A = this chain, B = another copy of it.
Amino acid sequence: MGNKVSIGLLGLGVVGSGVIKLIENHQEKLVHQLGTDVQVKSVLVRNIDKQRDVDVDRTFLTTNPDDVLNDPEIDIVIEVMGGIEEARKHILNAFANKKHVVTANKDLVALHGPELQEAARKNKCDFYYEASVAGGIPILRGITDGLSSDRIRKVMGIVNGTTNYILTKMDKEGLSYDVALKQAQELGFAEADPTSDVEGLDAARKMAILARLAFSMNVDLDDVEVTGISDITLEDMNYADQLGYTMKLIGFANFDDRKLEVNVQPTMLAKNHPLASVNDEYNAVYVYGDAVGETMFYGPGAGSLPTATAITSDVVSVIKNMLLGVTGSQYLDPHFNKQLKTEEQRFGQYYVRLHVKDEVGVFSRISALFNELNISFKRILQNPIIKHEKAEIIVVTHKTSLDNFYAALNRLENLDAVIETKSYYKVEGDANQ
């Protein structure tokens, strides 16, 4: 590689432009850190003539992937084109040509991470994807390096900025879900078709990647159970507040007895939980390790510059590995075979809101039902809804198994006194009030 490292880019959207700017602006620091020049040599684009907000020599632009993937001078390929199949093909191609790859493509890494990792290893190439989870937060490094000697038990993440923005607006300003979503769309925090964000799919991708690294196993995207935020009502948010909780979309991954649980679901989080004060479009990942206890990494989850920073930091790591001659060894083979927890093995506290007939003895019947299943209550609220001659009952349970909780929901449905189960949510932490 001589005293120059050459980089090829696949894609030149906002993130790609950000990477080019960062590398240009930091030449001095990069040279100091690495003792070598770092230059972008060619960039794959769809349309060479398109107007761009970054100053790139047009002779660097190409519409032919081979100009990036087959150029023997190019050492590192940065994939910022997005999409799945084409990106996958190009990356596999890059590895076959002994090029290292850095990507921000969470969809691709979530779906095909293990395959790409394997191809990298075979070709002694580096494959880094810090930017794919929580943009500017160096969480993958935190897990693989910083906590390498700990046994991680639990990872909880607010890993989708769009949903966190919407929930913050609902919570702090009392906006309805629809109004908050519309506002997020107007501000560019949510896309015209917000499905992937609001239904939790984007968060699920990040949790699959996090769980893989935290627990050293091949977690598939399908292993992640997902519930989105589109059914959350202001009523439940207000009750959460009253009970000392905040509603957040939480990615949850837990590993014990060599068994794994990964899911994404709206969760009532005790207000004293470190994640509870992560607001607006910010992301944070909370990690619980046997030895270290509670840690949290907080920062911007998206944005072209934070993402470009994560990519450039990965590029710096790759160059260091190249200089040291140790590429292809940064992530380890999965250590554990994946085994998912059954519903009997998953435990949680739950919030349930019921509409019941407003008559004598209703609460004691409901209470007996939970009792029979050995589920005890932590909090109870009961309010009459006079206009409709019914009452609203809210309970927060102590810890119970998920199958047990589902059994309770089932029996509630068959109880004559229960008009409707309005909602139920998982609860995390102990509220102080």
Contacts and interface: CB of A to CB of B under 8 A. Distances in A.
B291 A309 contact: yes
Contacts of A33: 148, 332
Contacts of A335: 29, 32
B146 A313 contact: yes
A114 interface: no
Interface residues of A, number: 55
11 contacts: A22-B291, A30-B149, A138-B146, A138-B295, A272-B279, A274-B277, A292-B300, A294-B298, A294-B299, A324-B326, A326-B326
A42 interface: no
Contacts of A290: 305
Contact of A313 (B138, B149, B151): B149
Interface in A1-58: 18, 22, 25-26, 29-30, 32-33
A151 B29 contact: yes
A93 interface: no
A292 B305 contact: yes
A162 to B, nearest CB: 17
B138 A147 contact: yes
A377 interface: no
Interface of A: 18, 22, 25-26, 29-30, 32-33, 130, 136-138, 141-142, 145-151, 216, 272, 274, 277, 279, 282, 289-300, 303, 305-306, 308-310, 312-313, 315-317, 324, 326, 329, 332, 335
Contact of A136 (B293, B300, B303, B305): B293
Given A29-B151, A141-B145, 10 more contacts: A25-B151, A29-B335, A32-B216, A33-B148, A136-B292, A149-B313, A292-B299, A293-B300, A296-B296, A324-B329
Given A145-B141, A149-B312, A296 B293 contact: no
Contact of A309 (B292, B306, B326): B292
A317 B330 CA distance: 12
A145 B313 contact: yes
